[in-house]
Amino acid sequence: MSRNVSISEEITYFDNWPHGQSSESQPTENDRLMESEDEGSIRIEVPSRPPTGARMGRRFTLNPLIFAKEEKEARRQSLAQLKLSYYPTNVNPDTYDTGLGFCGWLLMGLSYLLMLSTFPISVIFCIKVVQEYERAVIFRLGRLIGGGARGPGIFFVLPCIESYTKVDLRTVSFNVPPQEILTKDSVTTSVDAVVYYRVSNATVSVANVENAHHSTRLLAQTTLRNMLGTKDLAEILSDRDALAISMQAVLDDATESWGIKVERVEIKDVRLPVQLQRAMAAEAEATREARAKVIAAEGEQLASRSLREAANVISQSPAALQLRYLQTLNTVAAEKNSTIIFPLPVELIRHWLS
């Protein structure tokens, strides 16, 4: 695989290259291109002989030009793809190896012969049925057969050389056991959740992971601890929906290579220690009392302003003062169900007051 990189190279020649050097230091055909992960330099081992009249060092450094931002990003992506090509890939249900070899074809022929010789009894063992919500992953001599998973309905299995595994595609839910979590503000809590998921690719769920359901359960527990461990207690108590959505995205991305689709995550309960519950209750009660006192003080302040304005208005009109006096007497008499008698006329009392 060849790659073209726009670079300017500096080659150092040595005129005093020793002619009697051993063959181990001479360039060989096995020398290859090696790229370092940093963007500063690329080291190359030259596979050819040095030019005539000069001796060239076996290793030399290429100084790259100043790449544009787009070129750097393209180079980084190409290097990442090159690294991934050396790792073993997971099973792809669309591609399979049809090369059974001589023994494979021989066993397949014997299987057909056995099926025909025992017909129609062999039909009972060769014809299988899967439900609408199921799929069957078939292996022939240990290899996946083409066409992906079978179903729903009837499918055919050769005796002795083929085996199958049924996979349920319905949505499955499970409870995440209560996890002891130390929050970011050093508070110990116990949190549990419920996860809803389903198998989106039957072939991948069988071939890429030993037990997809058990692995998903373990991953949900660790994800719950890791995510809530970076949050404060107030965030956990108030932002449950946002935390559930984030956890669902993380689980869905991690289980995609297992053929699992995480549909929903819900945080059920957040349990606090008894002492912390009492402290939080006392704090909430004190906060409510302080708020009530502030509201009462603000009400008294507004009432005082209103009384002052009323007093100013009444002082400017004697008739208004007399009406207010009579209104107060009427209110007092109505509350105690009593009768008030004036021994003197009101005009005379007003004259004495003046």
pLDDT in tens, 91-142: 444 444 456 666 767 777 777 777 777 787 777 777 888 888 889 888 888 7
Q: What proportions of the chain, in percent to the nearest 5, are helix, strand and coil?
A: 45, 25, 35
Residue type at 251 in one-letter notation:
L
Q: Mind listing the pLDDT tens digit for each residue in 9-48? A: 343 443 444 444 444 444 444 444 344 444 444 444 444 4
User: Could you give the percent of the chain with pLDDT greater than 90?
Assistant: 6
What is the chain's mean pLDDT, rounded?
71
Give residues with Cβ within 8 angstroms of 151, minimum separation 6: 130, 131, 134, 135, 136
78-96 confidence digits (pLDDT tens): 655 544 443 334 444 444 4
Distance CA 318, CA 6 (A): 102
Question: For residue 209, which phi and psi values (nearest 5 degrees)?
Answer: -145, 145
Of the candidates 275, 263, 279, 267, the one whose C-alpha atom is nearest the C-alpha of residue 238 is 267
The domain locations on the chain are 7-84, 101-168, 172-275, 303-354
Contact between 107 and 159 (Cβ < 8 Å): no
**Dmax over Cα atoms in the chain, in whole Å?**
144
Helices (H), the chain: 69-84, 101-117, 121-126, 202-207, 212-228, 233-238, 240-254, 274-315, 318-336, 346-353
Q: What is the CATH number of domain 172-275?
A: 3.30.479.30
Q: How far is CA 253 from CA 129, 249, 260, in A?
A: 33, 6, 9
Read off the pLDDT of each residue in 321-344 and give the average, rounded to a whole number: 69
